[in-house]
Amino acid sequence: MLKKVLPIASALVAVMLLTVACSNDGTQTSNQAPNSEKNTANKSETPEQVKATLPVPVLQKTDQGENVKALQQVLNKIGYQVSITSKFDEMTTWAVTDFQMQQENMPITGIYNKATKKKLQKTLDSNKKLTPGSALDKPDQNEKVASNPHEVLVLVNKQHSLPDGFKPKNLVVPDVNFPFDGFHEKKQMRKVAANALEKLFHAANNQAGLELFAQSGYRSYERQDAIFASNVEAYGEEEANDVSARPGESEHQTGLTMDVTSPDVGFHLNTDFGKTDEGEWLKEHAAEYGFIIRYPKGKENITKYQYEPWHLRYVGEKAATEIMNKGITLEEFLGKK
């Protein structure tokens, strides 16, 4: 009887050993969690751990799409609470402007460009957290007053004014021709616009053989107040409002504007300038340097100002090209009036 039991026991032991060996050769049993599932659970990423990738193209207000979404994700990563809308809206413009204002020697534009990308990448690499709003207050709901007067696409007109006491940063005198000597505040522009104006004048005067002169740039609130009062006295308030801006409603106060002229019109600012070689050249080439003819002919019902072929406004090359190619105004470009 004992002899019969031993072979059966030996057989059972062999089966048990074979089962253990199979379970150790990499085959999963039904009650084991797969290693891949464990790894996935352990590697679930929080929003802060998601790799931030900066977009390449120039981006600005009114843009939308995946590149804008990527920029918004980066802005969130460095501390800005910007909604991921994929639209370059007011809050995104504010965040970019505030970031630029917190950097040293950084052009302040509200536009995402190569220089801004470089500074953002440096901030990301250093894991540095900024203090959002420490340079520029968040936009408020009052659309009648510009809450971000530092961006180059700021809209200033009879319906949208600048905040009280606003004075642009980084005012400089561009190295261009003026028809008068000595320093005057109206020779000044914001540095980013002044640099662009120098390139424009160099192309017009040195390459195209023209005689372009700068006549009037930055105006303080006080100077604009005096100019408007003088026009009211000379023409009456209604007509004065067609040819000049009330204080606080003038683009000249932004530092982004320069009235230009030429010897052919006696250095005056009048509509005849549009018929000169200089005026024709500006209409064709100003956008290449980031400028638009701010008050074009036929758009008086939108701009609320007479045709001014001499009035150049800096908005950046991307926006200027679209505005001039489409024959629209800044109001139409921004979808505001």
Q: CA-CA distance, 114 to 59, in Å (whole number)?
A: 10
Active-site entry in 151, 300, 308, 332:
308
> With helix as H, strand as E and coil as C, how does 7-65 read?
HHHHHHHHHHHHHHHHHCCCCCCCCCCCHHHHHHHHCCCCHHHCCCCCCCCCECCCCEC
Q: Reading across the β-sheet that carries 257-261, which strands appear in turn? A: 213-216, 257-261, 308-314, 291-295
Residue 270 corresponds to which amino acid?
N
User: With contact defined as beta carbons under 8 Å apart, do 307 and 295 qualify?
Assistant: yes
DSSP 74-127: HHHHTT------SB--HHHHHHHHHHHHTSTT----S-B-HHHHHHHHHHHHTT
- Catalytic (active site) residue 37: no
Residue whose tokens read 């604009």: 224
Active site residues: 308
